[in-house]
């Protein structure tokens, strides 16, 4: 079990294949249709993707996968271990995504989020993301996806 931590004890670094067991546990605890190991391996090995993990006391407690292509970057996946939520780790991961997008020359950072995920929507809005489109029935044909973007220029 992962212990509680203070954000100051958290470091962000590139995701490695050795992180995937921990990443998959967080992914499965966070989403009804979780990514599989192959998805994360593709992110790690793609020259367009920049996955990172949040680590505290040697344990992976969160991650973000960012893809950047030309003027647009996208948060493909982001999650924090259930026992670590509400401690600023999500903020650190969003800050990492923004930094990567800017470093790669993106003009905007986009993402999609379940309309029911109010905590995530609030997090993104605090960082200046705005809603720009709704994909009806995107998740399992039932729940809408909100598309959000942050202009980086």
Please tell me the distance from the alpha carbon of residue 124 to that of residue 133, in angstroms, as a whole number.
Answer: 15
Half-sphere exposure of 96 (CA within 13 A, CB side): 26
Catalytic residue among 72, 95, 112, 115: 112
Query: Nearest-5° angle of CA 99, CA 103, CA 109?
Result: 60
What does the DSSP 8-state code read for residue 41? Answer: H
* SS3 label, residue 36: coil
Helix (H) or strand (E) holding 113: strand 108-114
Query: Using CA of residue 130, residue 81, residue 5, residue 16, what is the dihedral sign?
Result: negative
Residue with tokens 């609030």: 122
Q: Is 115 a catalytic residue?
A: no
Catalytic residue among 27, 63, 124, 149: 124
Q: Is 132 a catalytic residue?
A: no
Which residues participate in catalysis according to the annotation? 112, 124
């Amino acid at each position: 079990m992962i212990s509680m931590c203070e954000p100051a004890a958290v470091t962000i670094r590139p995701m490695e294949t050795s992180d995937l067991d921990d990443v998959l546990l967080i992914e499965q605890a966070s989403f009804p249709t979780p990514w599989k190991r192959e998805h994360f391996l593709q992110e790690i090995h793609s020259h367009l993707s920049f996955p990172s993990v949040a680590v505290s006391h040697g344990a992976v407690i969160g991650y973000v996968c960012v893809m950047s292509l030309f003027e647009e970057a996208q948060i493909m996946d982001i999650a924090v271990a259930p026992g670590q939520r509400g401690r600023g780790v999500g903020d650190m991961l969003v800050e990492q995504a923004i930094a990567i997008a800017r470093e790669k020359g993106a003009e905007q950072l986009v993402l999609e989020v379940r309309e029911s995920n109010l905590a995530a929507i609030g997090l993104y809005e605090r960082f200046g993301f705005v809603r720009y489109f709704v994909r009806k029935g995107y998740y399992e044909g039932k729940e809408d996806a909100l598309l959000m973007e942050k202009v980086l220029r």
